[in-house]
Amino acid sequence: MTKILLVDDEPDACEMLQILITKHIRTPTEIVICNSPEQAIKVIASFKPELLLLDIEMPNMNGFDLLNRIGSWDFDVIFTTAYDKYAIKAIRFSALDYLLKPIDIVDLQNAVNRHIVKKDVQPQLQQQLVSNLISNLKQKDQNDFKLAISTSEGVYFSDPRNIIRLEGEGNYTRFFFSDRKPLLVAKVIKDYEEILQGYSFIRIHKSYLVNRHHISQMDKDDMLRLSDGSHIAISRRRKEDVMQLLNAREKK
């Protein structure tokens, strides 16, 4: 039995979400609804949920403020939100889950299933990720966001400007940095291409995503020389796009 707490100031949204979970989530659940953050803080102490589906925008206290007020917890969090580009970018940078309203059934199933798979993960990790999220949201410029990188050894937080390149290895991605040893992550490189969009990264090959600020030069044989001394080949299919991006950088 998975204990789920739904927190949203709109009763209709909570009722609809409860119906979707009851109808489409196969795992047995016990669901409690709160229509205010203040009520949720009290219920969390008594109900002790395993999973919190938390609306971000609420009057008096938003979802992030609620978590800040609690301080520490032992449940997983999935944020629910209407489209907010800045908040969603911050959530993805912090390796946390979110559902976009109106909530899609498949997205809901996938998010809850991810919770079930990782339900034994230490709650301290969740708190680290949420703390990073809150820190990111305080930044005036998303270029100052820290990227949460979860590995089998723990979670690391990196300034994207210190990432030299990413290398896809099947269902894994290896990060190379200017300030720490490489890290291997159980996530495909395409996911990071989407997360890092707008952060000066170029997909030069199906297996390589490169920070253009770490490109030292391009050799005649279409090899990029990077700041760590590595050489990466540009694929023929992507050469024209890569050249346009590099030329645009030089003109600035």
Q: How far apart are CA 80 and CA 6, in angstroms?
A: 10
- Taking only the tens place, the pLDDT of each residue in 42-62 is 999 999 999 999 999 999 899
pLDDT band at residue 122 under the 50/70/90 scheme = low
For the chain, the first-to-last Cα distance in angstroms comes to: 57
- Residues whose CB falls within 8 Å of the CB of residue 114, separated by 6 or more in sequence, listed in order: 97
Q: Clarify whether residues 102 and 24 are in a common domain.
A: yes
Cβ atoms of 87 and 100 within 8 Å: the answer is: no
Residue 248 tokens read as 């645009």
Residue of 65 and 33 predicted with greater confidence: 33
Mean pLDDT across the chain: 90
Number of domains comprising the chain: 2
Model pLDDT, residue 192:
96
Q: Clarify whether residues 33 and 96 are in a common domain.
A: yes
- Residue at a domain's end among 109, 138, 167: 138
Q: What is the extent of the structural domain holding 83?
A: 2-138
Model pLDDT, residue 219:
79
pLDDT band at residue 179 under the 50/70/90 scheme = very high
Model pLDDT, residue 70:
87
Taking phi over 0 as left and psi of -120 to 50 as alpha, with beta for the rest, 197 belongs to: beta
Closest CA to 129 of 186, 198, 77: 77
pLDDT at 250 over 60: no
Strand order in the sheet with 2-7: 29-34, 2-7, 51-55, 76-81, 97-100
Q: Clarify whether residues 125 and 25 are in a common domain.
A: yes
Structural domain contains residue 151:
no
Structural domain contains residue 145:
no
